[in-house]
A and B are shown apart, each in its own frame.
Chain A
Amino acid sequence: MADASGVLPASTASEPARKDRRSVLSSLEIDTRLLGMIGALAVIWVFFNVISGGSFLTARNLSNLSVQSASTAIMATGMVLIIVSRNIDLSVGSLLGFLGYTMAMLQAVWIPTTLGLGFDQPYTWIITIAAGLVIGALVGGFQGLLVAYAGIPSFIVTLGGLLVWRGIIFRYAQGQTIAPLDGTFRLLGGGPEGSIGFIGSWIVGALMCIGIVYTLWSNRRRKRRYGFPLRVMWAEVVVGVVGCLAVVAFVAVANAYPWPSTLATEYAQSHGITEPPGGLIIPTGIAIPVLIMLGVGLLMTYLATRRRFGRYVYAIGGNPDAAELGGINVRRTIAGTFALMGILVGVAAAVQSARLNAAVTNLGVQAELDVISAAVIGGTSFAGGIGTIPGAILGAVVMQSLRSGMLLLNVDSPTQDIVVGSVLVLAVGVDSYLRRRAS
């Protein structure tokens, strides 16, 4: 660089500027891909907000958006690990329907009527969810065994699963809708009741900020102990402050969304509160499904990056032979990814059916496509070995933003599909172009 300045005087002015920009990013040690995705999401949001005349970036729309993204995002975190290890799971949509239906039957028919224990027992929701997760793990694990030990390609196993689990629902449900669901269970779906309110949201926000600061601090301490180069102090502060500001913004938006006025009036009457002029304003706060999504995202990130299991999944995706020769139990790990996927489908099924307050036979139809798209838009590579959990969650939010933005603009559903499909291909195209250029 130094000797080039004499030859090309014209470039000297821009050269230091570019170098500075790169060094700012590198001293922040931030994943530039993730940053790019956040940028793309911001563009999408601003675009829809402008076109829709300001009705996209409202507390109401953003709160709904987060709830609608939750179920896809939860499943996408598992799909990342499946795709990273060079497999695919096409059965998640049908399994979602199957588990949603099973849990609905359990809480609305089998526990109260068949066993004669009655409706809305305090334990109903726990048994129901536990059963959903266990059955999800068993079904996912079974498919995983077929992939890992019987050597049947995952595409085939889960294509079979897609047909089988949906077929079972149609066969036994006979088109019936199971409703209503258990009162406590229903809170998992969000809504005014299924949210944690003003104070709860700020407590969660405070905990998240403490978590961010603690993580930064403990990483720094560990690096110092081994004498590794530390991130410059100002960069630590910037990352911490920006992270906490994002949390504060998130909580503020959730709290800015009030209960619907009719519900608020009902609440005021039943609690003997005289409504102030203009109605009682009750902040909704963070919805429980969004909280579940955040928790799942954190757990899965920890699993993927800080546990052996995750390390093995990535190693298998990078080079399956090397993983086997390195002494990794490849088959058990692969089977594990599918079992984990099953559990996450169980969580998503609970959220979805709770939100609908019913189980319908077509619950989760084509959900596998949304989930795979979210993972892939989030930077997961079908070549294996590459993909992140936060990326997949962002991918789910991007997908849902496109859908709900177009819904606001009254775009019909076929056109929505055309746009989402094109964006999917475009996103992956841009991503692989950037990746090729980087290497």
Chain B
Amino acid sequence: MTPTLPPSEPSSPAITPAPAPAGRAAAPSGDYLVEMRNIRVSFGGVHAVDNVTVNVRAGEVIGLVGGNGAGKSTLIRTLSGARPADAGQIFVDGKPVTISNPRDAKALGIETIYQQLALADNIDAAGNVFLGRELRTRIGSLDDAAMESATRKVMGRLNPRFKNFKSPVKSLSGGQRQSVAIARAIHFNARVLIMDEPTAALGPAETAQVRDLVAQLKEEGLGIFLISHDIHDVFDLADRISVMLQGKLVGTVDKTKVTKDEVLGMIIMGKKPDEVTEKEIAELHG
């Protein structure tokens, strides 16, 4: 079983033109797979996220960037169901949906890889990959052997050196734990993948692996929200970049039409590329 390939879509990397989004029949180009419209999240009167609208198409990577406390993670937690929005609406395939807990999000095919990985430390890799969606035998017992077998398969693809299937994930390295978290997100035919700082805890080799994976999943037609503080990561992987500052959306830009400096200007000064002066750009580098 190819974990990431939706059954209806016989797309193969070889025949898909690399730069163009693969696009699926259900979501033709221009239609958004997911749109978060006018999202607002308040913590005791403070608007952590204020009237933000972002969206993603199938086969597209949206880079979500901004400084610390810009509201990126809070925004995205409303989509993953970890913390529902106080106002605004979420659309999947153009239809309004209600996401009030992580189960709702998963049922819609929205999977999340959290910055802190969110693994149950005392349980082994297979237990974590299938947490909340356990495979069961006819009489409803946990089918640990089937889960381990499936986990071995998906791990063979993600991290072939991963061998430690019996130990609690507490005893694994950062990279191995990351593999478990990714395996959990992509094993269930996700349509939308949220990656919150997926490479923050990783070494160079593992970071390269995650980048390859993002490119691969994009070709398979997933919509991906990539949160990162690393502007290079985002420029390499994203198609469009949404910039947030102090809970507000500064703007969303097409990667091919902006420079890294211009995006930096958005992150730091909250100004769109056409509003920034040469002097201000120079100051960024000073």
Interfacial residues, chain A to chain B (CB-CB below 8 A): 222-223, 225-226, 228, 302, 305-308, 311, 314-315, 317-319, 321-329, 385-386, 439
Contacts and interface: CB of A to CB of B under 8 A. Distances in A.
Nearest to A316: B120
A319 B140 contact: no
A223 B145 contact: yes
A223 B165 CA distance: 14
Contact of A315 (B106, B120, B133, B184): B120
Interface in B88-121: 101-103, 106, 112, 114, 116-121
Contacts of A305: 142
Nearest to B102: A327
Contacts of A307: 140-142
A315 B134 contact: no
Nearest to A321: B118
Given A311-B134, A314-B123, A385-B121, 5 more contacts: A319-B121, A325-B118, A326-B132, A386-B122, A439-B170
Interface of B: 80, 82, 101-103, 106, 112, 114, 116-123, 127-128, 131-134, 136, 140-142, 145-146, 148-149, 168, 170-171, 184
Given A226-B149, A319-B119, A325 B82 contact: yes
Contact of B120 (A306, A308, A318): A318
Given A318-B121, A322-B119, A329 B148 contact: no
Contacts of B82: 324-325
Contacts of A386: 122
A329 B123 contact: no
Contacts of B136: 308
Contact of B123 (A223, A225, A315, A327): A315
Contact of A226 (B102, B120, B122, B145): B145
B145 A311 contact: no
A324 B101 CA distance: 8
B106 to A, nearest CB: 5
B102 A225 contact: no
A305 B142 CA distance: 8
A311 B106 contact: no
Nearest to B136: A308
A326 B102 contact: yes
Given A228-B145, A307-B141, A327-B133, A322 B118 contact: yes
A319 B148 CA distance: 21
A225 B142 contact: no
A247 B184 CA distance: 42
A315 B130 CA distance: 11
Q: Which of B82, B122, B140, B148 neighbours the largest number of chain A CB atoms within 10 Å of its CB?
A: B122
B149 A324 contact: no
A113 B122 CA distance: 54
A311 B122 contact: no
Contacts of A306: 141-142
Contact of A324 (B102, B123, B128): B102
B122 A318 contact: yes
A226 B146 contact: yes
A323 B142 contact: no
Contacts of A223: 145
Contacts of B134: 308, 311
Contacts of B149: 226, 228
Nearest to A322: B118
Contacts of B122: 314-315, 317-319, 385-386
B133 A226 contact: no
Contacts of A323: 120, 131
Contacts of B118: 319, 321-322, 325-326
A306 B82 CA distance: 28
Contacts of A328: 131-132
Contacts of B101: 324, 327
14 contacts: A306-B141, A308-B136, A314-B123, A315-B122, A318-B121, A319-B119, A319-B120, A322-B118, A324-B82, A324-B101, A326-B128, A327-B132, A327-B133, A329-B103
A302 B171 CA distance: 26
A306 B146 CA distance: 13
Contacts of B114: 325
A321 B131 CA distance: 13
A308 B128 CA distance: 13
A58 B80 CA distance: 62
Contacts of B146: 226
B103 A327 contact: yes
Given A318-B120, A319-B118, A325 B127 contact: no
Given A226-B146, A311-B134, A439-B171, A327 B120 contact: no
The 8 closest A-B CB pairs, nearest first, are: A327-B132, A318-B122, A385-B122, A318-B120, A322-B118, A315-B120, A326-B131, A226-B149
A311 B119 contact: no
Q: Which of A222, A302, A315, A386 neighbours the largest number of chain B CB atoms within 10 Å of its CB?
A: A315
Q: Which of A305, A325, A386 neighbours the largest number of chain B CB atoms within 10 Å of its CB?
A: A325
A385 B82 CA distance: 22
A55 to B, nearest CB: 43
Nearest to A219: B145
Nearest to B132: A327
Contacts of B117: 322
B190 to A, nearest CB: 13
A319 to B, nearest CB: 5
Nearest to A29: B166
Contacts of A322: 117-120, 131
Q: Which of A222, A326, A385 neighbours the largest number of chain B CB atoms within 10 Å of its CB?
A: A326
A311 B127 contact: yes
A319 B128 CA distance: 11
Contacts of B106: 327
Nearest to B106: A327
A311 B122 CA distance: 11
Nearest to B142: A306
